[in-house]
Chains A and B, each alone.
Chain A
Amino acid sequence: MSKIGLIIKREYLHRVSKKSFIILTLLMPLMMVALVFVPLWLSSIKGSDVRQIAIIDTTGKYAPLFEDVDNYHFIQSDKSLEEYRNSPDKELYAILQITDDLLTNPRAATLYSEKQVPNELSRIVNQTIRAQIEDDKLATFNIPNLKEIIKDSKVSFNVQTIKWGEDGKEQISSAAVASVVGIIFTMIVYMFVLMYGAMVMSSVVEEKTNRIVELMVSSVRPFDLMMGKIIGIGFVGLTQILMWGILSVALFTIGGFFYAGSLGTDMATLQQGMQAAQGMGAAVEMQPGAELFAMLSTINFREIALFFIIFFIGGYMMYASIFAAIGSSVDNADDTSQFMAPITILLVFALYAGIYSMENPDGPLAFWCSMIPFTSPIVMMVRIPFGIPLWEKLLSVVLLYGSFIGAIWLSAKIYRVGILMYGKKPSFKEMIKWLRFK
């Protein structure tokens, strides 16, 4: 096996067999899925006890409007508030007292309870009463059929965005969906570049402080050592992404199945709706779920995945080689911060540029930041789900790959000198001098 192969193998196996890696890889998708499904599941659990609410309605107008819901049972009571206060009824959860016509005296309704009244209950009460007050109010205008007129005039409107495909076919598209997809991939690129880049750096620092590096460079070229490390750790990153992807999809499918099952939603209708949407374009009225599916289906996931891998590799190689150069020129992890700061600022800037590019994915900020190799892997992932011309993607890839090769070449020169330099912390000026060393 070639030496660089041996180094890649060691870096890879050593890291993926670590307990922390295995735990993080398995736990993260579980946590993600839990984050989505646990609140859903919790909210679907209904309180087991039914709470009794007594209504003292002196007007007699409102009490009959209250209908029992899952965990609230409303009782019309003819006792007075005083009676309840003097002889508390343990069964009662709250008392609603209405003393006057609420249209003329809106403060005449009060909810009494020994406990903090839950939002849910006050919402039910408010909604019920508000509906009646509105009706009453409308009635005061003395216009026949006013209620129907108003109901009729209420329309909900959402402009439908249609993207013309390259073959002229109309597709429903949604900027929101594209943004969400874009930002997810952007965050992943950002997170992994920073996380695994820093891992390369700390590993270089570790080898240097361990002093094993002198032994290593007596058997392998420093370039092989650096590249082996970068590639090996890159594979660890790809493994983690792949595992997270597979596990998340699997867990979401399982979770979604159970959740959908428990709600009694018919998955078949959803699918039918989706097919209909694809077949007839936007004309048909669809269930919201199906519409989402239709929109998701306009996003070319195969293309996104392909470019994600390409940009991830390019961005990672770019930053990892810089991180390796930084790691090689300091003596211990504490000294890295001085050099880390500009790199981190660059990455954070890229992330912000990516987020702002969502607003206008074809604007100048988005365009230029997706061409500059320091920001392109992050910003490009925002733009791709919106669909951009092929030449832009290719140009960006060429620029990125060209610059990462340049970055590796420069970093290798700094690395080669840096790993054998101990003692003082070098300045940027000195690091540039190292480039000229033979």
Chain B
Amino acid sequence: MYFLEAKDVVKQFANHRALNHVSIRVPEGKIFGLLGPNGAGKTTLIRIINRITAPDSGVVYFNGRESRAEDIYQIGYLPEERGLYKKMKVGEQAIYLAQLKGLSYMVARERLMRWFDKFDIMPWWNKKLEELSKGMQQKVQFIITVIHEPSLLIFDEPFSGFDPINAEILKKEILELKQAGHTIIFSTHNMASVEEICDEIALINRSEVVLSGNVSEVRERYKTNNYTLHLRNSLTDMPAYCHILSEKERDGVYEIRLHKEEEFSNSALISDLAKQNEILSFVEEIPSMNDIFIKVVSDSNSQQS
């Protein structure tokens, strides 16, 4: 079942079309990566999901039915451009923002106390925001995003501005939220993190979805049928459906990259090679999301231009 579905969404600005018949489907309880270069239209789509702006045409379905105004209480949004009231005290501010998300004062206060404890920022409760370090402000912002326990979370570039330690804590929290059943939309340029935490992706380029699907399936789709082998000896008696891309030797170990034709299976290749050679390692080169991203985006750009 899809928790959130955008169907055929079009958004036209004065002199450019930000979204051109964009459809995405976000499965419940999964982390959905919304990828794309700068200016592709990701933020516009996120704003439409958040009901900040309305689409010119197209529909957003939320939890199986058309999205309604009160659905925003079910969404937690961490915008890419973050900011809070600098002159306001941290705790007071967090309570205010939680109340705007529909929590009562008491519930907001109690939950915030718990989160502040968890993130070790309790001593900053009565400090003004501007006195906090940037990393701490980011933590506060994250807490505010999740405080109303929304069923859909939208993180726009969540890791920017975090040091590696805090980024790790954040990643852990995001995975925990997924475990707890939250559906998460995750917009980023950081492809390594996409491989690590996303289940599904959609890649938007120039206002259109150019690639979507399950992460491993997408990577499978873009595999090159290239292999890297480590052999004890130089390759002899190569099967006819293969050709060597490169070969180098180091300390008596031969590293060979080869390409095989699509229709032959990996097992066939291994058994054919194993007859003559001692195989030390056999690795199929699965393209990284980064490679796929670059390939898909540049392909679609060259097609269009």
* Residues of A in contact with B (beta carbons under 8 Å apart): 1, 3, 6-7, 10, 14, 207, 210-220, 420, 422, 430, 433, 438
Q: Are B72 and A218 in contact (CB under 8 A)?
A: yes
* Residues of B in contact with A (beta carbons under 8 Å apart): 14, 47, 50, 52-56, 72-73, 75, 77, 79, 81-88, 96-97, 99-101, 141, 144
By secondary structure, the A interface counts as helix
Partner of B100, one of A207, A210, A214, A219: A219
Question: Nearest-CB distance from B147 to chain A (Å)?
Answer: 11
Q: Are A211 and B82 in contact (CB under 8 A)?
A: yes
CA distance A6 to B99 in the complex (A): 8
Question: Nearest-CB distance from B280 to chain A (Å)?
Answer: 53
CA distance A213 to B83 in the complex (A): 8
Q: Are A218 and B77 in contact (CB under 8 A)?
A: yes
Question: Nearest-CB distance from A309 to chain B (Å)?
Answer: 29
Q: Are B83 and A212 in contact (CB under 8 A)?
A: yes
Jot down 24 A-B pairs with beta carbons below 8 A, ordered by A: A1-B99, A6-B100, A7-B100, A10-B96, A14-B88, A207-B85, A210-B84, A210-B85, A210-B86, A211-B79, A211-B83, A213-B83, A214-B52, A214-B79, A214-B83, A215-B77, A215-B82, A215-B84, A218-B75, A219-B72, A219-B97, A220-B100, A420-B53, A438-B56
B54 contacts which chain A residues (CB < 8 A)?
Answer: 438
Q: Are B97 and A215 in contact (CB under 8 A)?
A: yes
Question: Nearest-CB distance from B17 to chain A (Å)?
Answer: 14
CA distance A213 to B52 in the complex (A): 11
**Beyond known contacts A1-B99, A215-B84, A219-B100: 6 more, CB 8 A cutoff:** A6-B99, A213-B83, A214-B79, A215-B79, A217-B52, A420-B52
Question: Nearest-CB distance from A18 to chain B (Å)?
Answer: 9
CA distance A207 to B83 in the complex (A): 8
Question: Quick one: which of B56, B75, B85 has the most chain A CB within 10 A?
Answer: B85
A14 contacts which chain B residues (CB < 8 A)?
Answer: 87-88
CA distance A282 to B271 in the complex (A): 125
A212 contacts which chain B residues (CB < 8 A)?
Answer: 83-85
Question: Nearest-CB distance from B73 to chain A (Å)?
Answer: 8
> What residue of chain B has the Cβ atom nearest to residue A220's Cβ?
B100
Partner of A420, one of B47, B72, B82, B100: B47
CA distance A97 to B73 in the complex (A): 95
Question: Quick one: which of B53, B55, B56, B83 has the most chain A CB within 10 A?
Answer: B83
Question: Quick one: which of A1, A6, A218, A420 has the most chain B CB within 10 A?
Answer: A218
Known: A219-B97, A430-B14. A214 touches B56 (CB 8 A): no
> What residue of chain B has the Cβ atom nearest to residue A433's Cβ?
B14
CA distance A401 to B238 in the complex (A): 89
CA distance A213 to B77 in the complex (A): 12
Q: Are B144 and A215 in contact (CB under 8 A)?
A: yes
CA distance A438 to B48 in the complex (A): 11
Partner of A216, one of B56, B99, B100, B141: B100
> What residue of chain B has the Cβ atom nearest to residue A416's Cβ?
B53
Q: Are A211 and B81 in contact (CB under 8 A)?
A: yes
Question: Nearest-CB distance from B170 to chain A (Å)?
Answer: 17
B83 contacts which chain A residues (CB < 8 A)?
Answer: 210-215
B144 contacts which chain A residues (CB < 8 A)?
Answer: 215
CA distance A3 to B103 in the complex (A): 11
A213 contacts which chain B residues (CB < 8 A)?
Answer: 83
A10 contacts which chain B residues (CB < 8 A)?
Answer: 96
> What residue of chain A has the Cβ atom nearest to residue B88's Cβ?
A14
B87 contacts which chain A residues (CB < 8 A)?
Answer: 14
> What residue of chain A has the Cβ atom nearest to residue B79's Cβ?
A214
Question: Nearest-CB distance from B239 to chain A (Å)?
Answer: 57
B50 contacts which chain A residues (CB < 8 A)?
Answer: 217-218
A217 contacts which chain B residues (CB < 8 A)?
Answer: 50, 52
Question: Nearest-CB distance from A56 to chain B (Å)?
Answer: 73
CA distance A217 to B14 in the complex (A): 22
> What residue of chain A has the Cβ atom nearest to residue B14's Cβ?
A433
Known: A3-B100, A6-B100. A218 touches B81 (CB 8 A): no
Question: Nearest-CB distance from A364 to chain B (Å)?
Answer: 43
Question: Nearest-CB distance from A30 to chain B (Å)?
Answer: 27
4 smallest CB-CB distances across A and B, nearest first, come from A211-B83, A210-B83, A211-B81, A214-B79
